[in-house]
Amino acid sequence: MLRFPTNPTYGQVFQGARRTWVYREGFWDVVDDGESRTITNTLTKSAITVGPLAPAGLVDGINSDYTLPHVPLTGTLQVYYNGLLQKQGENYDYLEADRVVSFGEPPHAESTITVIYDRMSAMEILGEEPILDDCHCAGSQPKYNLQYVPEPESTRLYLNGLLKRLDEDYTIEGNSITFTYVFPPEYFIVQVYYRVNL
């Protein structure tokens, strides 16, 4: 008989003998074989508005490319040329790729280029299975690496579905997790829930 963790959180993963389960919407659901063992979902994304500000780039009548300080969220970028809102597109005023705004025609010297956009400021990671450090040796304390650096005091770590305590069971430095005791990692599943500020 399976004994699921009590008081589970949304997205918590439990590894049974033959199946992996994830807690969703008030019940334990079997993870499809096609799903990745690393169950990493963006639970929430927090956005903030940036600008108005001038992107980096010389306005000299020759330069067409201007660099933004961040990657804008899709559909939020507004570009103003001398106060007039520009239209994005192949047959219009400018194109945008990653952080670069490229005008079809270079803006005239001494013109003003201003941008306003939204950018992602934070996200919640659910159930990431961190990667065991390559330097791990049998009989040593397991060390794992997360994809991102967690915001302080935002981490919840589960070892085979059991919640562990920071500083008592494990420590975090940057994106590295080190357990305070020795166990054979091949028999254990680690899932980490944490917040990332971007």
Same domain, 126 and 186: yes
Is 37 in the same domain as 127?
A: yes
Does residue 127 lie in a domain region?
Answer: yes
pLDDT, tens only, 86-135 = 999 999 999 999 899 999 999 999 999 999 999 887 788 888 899 998 77
Residue 105 sits in which domain range?
48-120
Say whether 102 sits in a helix, a strand or coil: strand
Answer whether residue 74 is part of any domain: yes
How far is 147 from 22, CA to CA, in rounded Å? Answer: 20
| CA–CA gap between residue 145 and residue 147 (Å, rounded) | 7
7 assigned to some structural domain: no
- pTM check: above 0.75: no
What is the predicted pLDDT for the residue at 162? Answer: 92
